[in-house]
Each structure stands twice: as structure tokens, then as C-alpha cells.
């Protein structure tokens, strides 16, 4: 019988998968991500189970959440990374407002130790009671999702004119040879990370050490979910890109390129080669993960390359926070500001 008020209930992994089967959603909200999360610090699922959200009067769940436990300077908080995942159609601003309000009340009652909740909200400009994240996490509210259904001609037809032009130039002019190297060993992989460091220095973002990327890559490679493409000139790596594939949905999770290879269209040829391979394997959509917007202007440097692959920009839920302990939260933000975050 429908409840007169919103409720959250534990849900098994099997039921979670069944509710959102057939719709694309972030890898980090997937059951398949759990094993990777377990090898990282913290990140255990709060209270040991995912939860389903029933709005007031609903006869079935409208959303599911994976809340993970984190701490900042001994301050406990929950992060619904990649979630809520809404069942069926995307949410209205009103539906998101109702969930935010219900989640605040429920967590505060069930676990008073939590200081805030981080979750992802689509209509973040229109929902009250949320604030920007207290950490710089390179969150985004816009991305490029490439439709890979149909044929190569269909794929090209959905690109912008300059995208087709650059792919054609890459085919004619790129000096690099692009090949899949998912079976690469650690020594070879470390050569790729040197290119990542160069890319980070050039574009001004924080990258990770080789162990971080190797752990990430091999975890998903061992489960058949990783596809690594490498561009080489005379045997020397000059660029690379890593796809993570889950069913018929994939993300272009990380990529790097030398400046010379970038000017020579190696990144274009690499991504295009990967798209064709994934298309042949039945993948229906590839998310390029993030572009810049008013919400995330620090990511605007990504836009020139990524936006040429489709005619449309896809709006996605952005990370925001629900504050449960205002005094603690203000102290955390003051400290973060003093330390330059």
C-alpha cells in the first residue's frame, strides 16, 4: 500500500539492477563498481545496503541510491556518487526537491553522526536546500554522449561538420598508428603515464600517480570492462585513451596526448577508432564524461575537442551537498579556504 510520506528502504543488488536495467547511468552508481570502491580508502556502502526511494503516495520506487561513507578531517559524510538513479524518465525539479527534503530528514534521523550528504542533482539551479561541494572534485553538469547505434555512416552523420573534417584530416595526416593495447604490461603502462603528466601540466589539472591509474585500469581490465587504445610513432607512445564498458554503455574515462600528437590529430584518430570498435561490439552510447559550463568553467578547455563529436550537449546531474550540521560544515569550509582547498 502506498505510504502517505516519502520513504527509503533497503534494496538488494539484484533488485537494484533490475529496477534500472536497460537505461544508461554512471558507472560509479553501478553494482559493478563496488569491487573497485572496496580497494580504495573508505567508500563502504552506508549501512551495508543500497536504498530505494518511494515518494509520498507512490506504489513503486522512483529512484535508487548508493550512499557511501566518507570522512573529511574526521567529519563523517555520505556521498551518493553517480546517484540517485531515477527509474524510468528523468526527474522534474519538483521530484528532486522532494527527494532532497526527504533524504535530509531521513539521514538526520537514522544517523546523526553525518555532517552532510553529497548527491547529484539535475535541476541544481531550481532545487532549494543544496549548496556547492566543499571540495574541488571537478564535478560537471554537462557532457557529450555519442550515439553509436547504426553504421559508421550514421555515426559520422551525427557529428558536427568540424568533427567530420578533423576525423578526415586525422586519417590523412596523423603520423601515429592507433592500436588496442589492453594487454599492456606495467612497464609499458608507465610510459603512458608520462604522457598523462605532460597533459596535466599543459592543461593545468591535477593528475594521479602511476599506481592509481594502473590499479584502476587493471581492475576493470581483469573484468573485461576496459579497452585501452594507444597511438605510437615509430614504436614510441604519443597518446592514449581508456574506455570503460558496462553492457551497451561506455565512458571515455581518461585520455592523454603529447602536444605534437595533439596538433597532428592523434586524439581524434584514437577516439574515432575506439568508437568504431565499440560500435562493432554493440555499444549504443559513449559518454565523454564532462565538458565545461557555467557550473564548471574550469572544464571549458575540454569543449573544443569534445563538442565536435555530436550536435547536442547532454545535461547531467551535478554534485551538490545537503548540509546536516551547519556549524561543522562552516568550520570545514573556513579551513578549506585557509588551506586553499
- DSSP class of residue 114? -
Question: Quick one: cell of 226?
Answer: 576496459
The mean pLDDT value for 245-256 works out to: 98
Q: How many CB atoms lie within 10 A of CB 183?
A: 8
CA 239 – CA 127 distance, rounded (Å): 41
Of the candidate CATH numbers 3.40.50.150, 3.40.630.30, 3.40.50.1100, 3.40.50.2300, the domain formed by 142-315 belongs to 3.40.630.30
Q: pLDDT (tens digit, 9 = 90+) per residue, 13-62?
A: 999 999 999 999 999 999 999 999 999 988 999 999 999 999 999 999 99
Report yes or no: 78 and 114 within 8 Å, Cβ to Cβ: yes
Q: Give the C-alpha separation, 82 to 26, whole Å.
A: 5
| Residue 336 reports pLDDT greater than 80 | no
Residue 112 has what DSSP assignment?
Answer: T
* CATH fold match for the domains 7-140+318-340 and 142-315: yes
Residues 100, 121 contacting (CB under 8 angstroms): yes
What tens digit of pLDDT does each residue of 207-223 get? 889 999 999 999 999 99
Average pLDDT, the chain: 95
Q: Where along the chain do its domains lie? A: 7-140+318-340, 142-315
User: Are residues 163 and 308 in contact, defined by beta-carbon separation less than 8 angstroms?
Assistant: yes
List, for residues 254-265, the tens digit of each pLDDT value: 999 999 999 999
Considering the domain delimited by 7-140+318-340, tell me its CATH architecture: 3-Layer(aba) Sandwich (3.40)
Rounded Cα gap, residues 51 and 340, in angstroms: 35
Amino acid at each position: 500500500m502506498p505510504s502517505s510520506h516519502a520513504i527509503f528502504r533497503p534494496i538488494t543488488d539484484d533488485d537494484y539492477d533490475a529496477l534500472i536495467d536497460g537505461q544508461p547511468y554512471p558507472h560509479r552508481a553501478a553494482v559493478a563498481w563496488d569491487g573497485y570502491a572496496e580497494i580504495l580508502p573508505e567508500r563502504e556502502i552506508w549501512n551495508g545496503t543500497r536504498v530505494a526511494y518511494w515518494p509520498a503516495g507512490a506504489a513503486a520506487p522512483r529512484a535508487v541510491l548508493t550512499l557511501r561513507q566518507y570522512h573529511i578531517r574526521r567529519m563523517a559524510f555520505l556521498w551518493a556518487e553517480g546517484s540517485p538513479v531515477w527509474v524510468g524518465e528523468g526527474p522534474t525539479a519538483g521530484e528532486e526537491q522532494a527527494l532532497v527534503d526527504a533524504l535530509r530528514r531521513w539521514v538526520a534521523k537514522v544517523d546523526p553522526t553525518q555532517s552532510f550528504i553529497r548527491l547529484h542533482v539535475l535541476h541544481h539551479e531550481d532545487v532549494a536546500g543544496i549548496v556547492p561541494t566543499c571540495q574541488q572534485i571537478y564535478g560537471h553538469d554537462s557532457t557529450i554522449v555519442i550515439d553509436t547505434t547504426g553504421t559508421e555512416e550514421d555515426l559520422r552523420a551525427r557529428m558536427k561538420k568540424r568533427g567530420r573534417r578533423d576525423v578526415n584530416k586525422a586519417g590523412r595526416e596523423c603520423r601515429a598508428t592507433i592500436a588496442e593495447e589492453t594487454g599492456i604490461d606495467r612497464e609499458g603502462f608507465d610510459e603512458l603515464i608520462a604522457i598523462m603528466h605532460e597533459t596535466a601540466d599543459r592543461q593545468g589539472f591535477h593528475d594521479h600517480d602511476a599506481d592509481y591509474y594502473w590499479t584502476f585500469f587493471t581492475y576493470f581490465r581483469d573484468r573485461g570492462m576496459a579497452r585501452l587504445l594507444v597511438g605510437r610513432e615509430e614504436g614510441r607512445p604519443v597518446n592514449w585513451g581508456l574506455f570503460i564498458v558496462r553492457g551497451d554503455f561506455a565512458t571515455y574515462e581518461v585520455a592523454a596526448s603529447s602536444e605534437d600528437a595533439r596538433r597532428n590529430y592523434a586524439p581524434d584518430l584514437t577516439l574515432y577508432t575506439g568508437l568504431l570498435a565499440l560500435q562493432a561490439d554493440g555499444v549504443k552510447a559513449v559518454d565523454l564524461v564532462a565538458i565545461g559550463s557555467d557550473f564548471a568553467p574550469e572544464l571549458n578547455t575540454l569543449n573544443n575537442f569534445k563538442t565536435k563529436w555530436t550536435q547536442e550537449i547532454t545535461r547531467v546531474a551535478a554534485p551538490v551537498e545537503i548540509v546536516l550540521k551547519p556549524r561543522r560544515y562552516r568550520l570545514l569550509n573556513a579551513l578549506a579556504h585557509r588551506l586553499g582547498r
